[in-house]
Amino acid sequence: MRETITAALHAATKARDARRLSTLRLMSAAIKDRDIAARTAGSEKATDAELLELLAKMIKQREESQKIYADAGRAELAAQEGEEVAIIREFLPKQLSEADMAKAIDEAIAEAGATSIKDMGKVMAALKSRYAGQMDFGKASGAVKAKLG
């Protein structure tokens, strides 16, 4: 993933695409920060799953900002956040559909042997390990809670 982002960064520099370049620089800096944090924790680099989680977090932040800007009547800033979301999404695996997410949740519940809301942590851990970057865990959490509750 690091190599893909670096290659895209070089291509954006050559193409003089300012929006893409700034977004890729932000992504690269966030990845380097995560790698530094991983080194202090004892591992050499952050795993791909951690990087996918990081990119998903960046998308969520930008979507929230986009909504705030749109509500405040700042359409140009909302559009800018939307462009950044689209650029970051290019580096994430394909997102699961609602039906696929429901199926994955059912499988994780069955695998974990979850019967009550107390088992929600096990189910969420299984989902995060298998589907990092492929689903919105906020929505998944609500769906798991509904099925177990």
CATH number at residue 25: 1.10.1510.10
Cβ proximity of 101 and 63 under 8 Å: no
Mean pLDDT of 20-44: 90
CA dist., res. 86 & res. 50, Å (int): 20
**Domain boundary residue, one of 89, 107, 127:** 89
The answer to whether residues 85 and 123 belong to one domain is no
Task: For residue 137, count CB atoms less than 10 angstroms from its CB and return exposed for 0-12, middle for 13-18, buried for 19 or more.
Answer: middle
pLDDT tens-place string over residues 87-115: 999 988 888 888 888 898 888 888 888 88
The answer to whether residues 52 and 106 belong to one domain is no
pLDDT tens-place string over residues 37-73: 888 888 888 888 788 888 988 998 999 999 999 999 9
With tokens 């580096």, the residue in question is: 91
Q: How many domains does the chain have?
A: 2
pLDDT tens-place string over residues 111-138: 888 888 888 888 888 888 888 778 878 8
Dihedral angle of Cα 117, 123, 127, 129, to the nearest 10 degrees: 130
pLDDT band (50, 70, 90) for residue 28: very high
Q: Read off the tokens for 72.
A: 């405040």
Q: What is the span of the domain harbouring residue 102?
A: 98-148
